[in-house]
Homo-oligomer: A and B are copies of this chain.
Amino acid sequence: MNLLLLRDEDFVGADRVLLRGRRLQHLLQVHQATVGDSLKVGQLGGMMGRGELLALSAEHAELSVQLDQPPPAKLPLTLLLAMPRPKMFRRILQHCATLGVAEIILLNSFRVEKSFWQTPFLQPEQIEENLLLGLEQARDTILPQVQIEKRFKPFVEDRLPALIADRLALVAHPGDYPACPRAVTQPTALAIGPEGGWIPYEVDKLVEAGFQSVQLGARILRVETAVTALIGRLF
């Protein structure tokens, strides 16, 4: 953890926090922190800065904090992602939070196994936990927004066109399409299919909604690899 993330309820004064639980354990065991240490801290949803460790015991850590720096800018990216396999989903949430994705929309697709929607990793507190791990890694305080859309057709037909109205909208799909662009600065939506890819009907619907098909070469990437490689290329 490269940033100690503070929640509103940790504050016991304007510049004073008390920590227990996972973050306390991490301070004790991984950081092997001692009183007087200065640590990078950030307020979830707010500013970042430094905290000085005033007291440390097995029960709690007390810090005085000074929050005077904004978090890094988010990427202007909405990721439209066919719901991935649960174990990979967890890692993708972490990668996305670390890389600065602003918004993730989890979408159904013909090739998404129904069981994927049953995973406990979709519980709001589990989504948040994995996003927090990504923010702590990157040193960021702003959670990506996550939206769940289990019905492909009504979402893509009725709501997606408005959502991408002022965006570059790209669907990654193997085939004879233009190469995925690079060094994009405008607001972007990127649709990434499931293992095995979108079916042709789904690509057609996304194109009708305003997406352009782009390809990333002959190699077939796992979803996890594709998400990170495409973000690395796009921004």
Contacts and interface: CB of A to CB of B under 8 A. Distances in A.
A31 interface: no
A36 B4 CA distance: 59
A137 interface: yes
Interface in A104-162: 137-140
Interface in A204-235: 217-222, 225, 228-233
A7 interface: no
A113 to B, nearest CB: 13
B219 A72 contact: yes
A10 to B, nearest CB: 22
Instruction: Determine how many copies of this chain the complex contains.
Output: 2
A168 interface: no
Contacts of A228: 225, 228-229, 232
A219 B95 contact: no
A141 to B, nearest CB: 12
B100 A219 contact: yes
A98 B221 contact: yes
A221 to B, nearest CB: 6
Contact of A220 (B137, B218, B219, B225): B137
A220 B183 contact: no
Given A219-B100, A230-B232, A231-B232, A95 B225 contact: yes
A185 interface: no
Contacts of A54: none
A199 to B, nearest CB: 16
A67 interface: no
Contacts of A219: 72, 98-100, 138-140
Nearest to A179: B183
B225 A99 contact: yes
Contacts of A232: 228-233
A153 to B, nearest CB: 28
